[in-house]
Amino acid sequence: MVNVAIGLRPFKAISFDLDDTLYDNRPIIMAAEQRLLSFLAQRHPLTQDWGLDDWQALKRSLIRQCPSLAHDTSAARLVTLEQGLITLGYAKTQAGEAAQQALAYFVEQRSDFTVAPEVVAKLTRLARHYPLVGITNGNVDAQRIGLGEVLEFVLHPGNGTRMKPYPDMFYQACQRLDIGCHELLHLGDSFKADVQGARRAGCQAAWLNPAVGRKPQLISEGQLPHITCSDLDDLLALID
């Protein structure tokens, strides 16, 4: 097994990435995207000839024009929907109202699931020992998916707050928890967003890497996680 960890120091709280850390997000998003296309086609027939690739290409173009949209998942989708509807021939006022409705529908659909009971049970055990919070680049509704009782709060990017790996949300979490950055342990599946993001903020990083022996391409020792985990049980072992 390759050692890609530098060891933990004492910590006072744990933060979690949500998508692809506490549940498999890919099939959820794929289903929500298809439902959104059907929603648009039923209510706005001019969208019927546009597929997911068309909407994603428009989104990329808009982000190139306004890079700040890359840090706000909901705003980027809203602007994409509105601009796409205008491009397809709808009036600006109608497009704006339709985009708001479509965004609300999408967020509802992408949050139309429940985190596995065994995951919630493990988080509940951890919550008896540490405050738990969420730090996500996405826009899932944590209350709807069953995390409201175990996470004290969830931070999302947007309104000037940048996505991970920028340190903004880590700083906000530590400020709200009234702890030093070094006292927060963050668990996430993304080496770039979660490990590098936590390290840049001065927090401790736990890399959720089911293939624990896989060594990432490291640029410097400063990017190493403090621990690697194959699942939540590795965190539970810290309190047993």
The distance of Cα 123 from the centroid of its chain, to the nearest Å, equals 17
Catalytic residue check, 54: no
Partnered with residue 207 across adjacent β-strands are: 188, 228
| Whole-angstrom distance, CA of residue 195 vs CA of residue 69 | 23
- Considering the candidates 17, 19, 189, 194, report the single residue annotated as catalytic: 17
CA-based nearest residue to 177, from 15, 8, 1: 15
Residues 194 and 17 sit within 8 Å (Cβ to Cβ)? yes
With the C-alpha atoms ordered 228, 27, 120, 145, is the resulting torsion angle positive or negative? positive
Question: HSE-up of 231 (CA within 13 Å, CB side)?
Answer: 6
Which residue matches tokens 């060891």? 7
Produce one character per residue of 16-42: b if its CB has 16 or more CB atoms within 10 Å, e if not.
bbbbbbbbebeebbeebeebbbebbee
With the C-alpha atoms ordered 177, 112, 78, 51, is the resulting torsion angle positive or negative? positive
Active site residues: 17
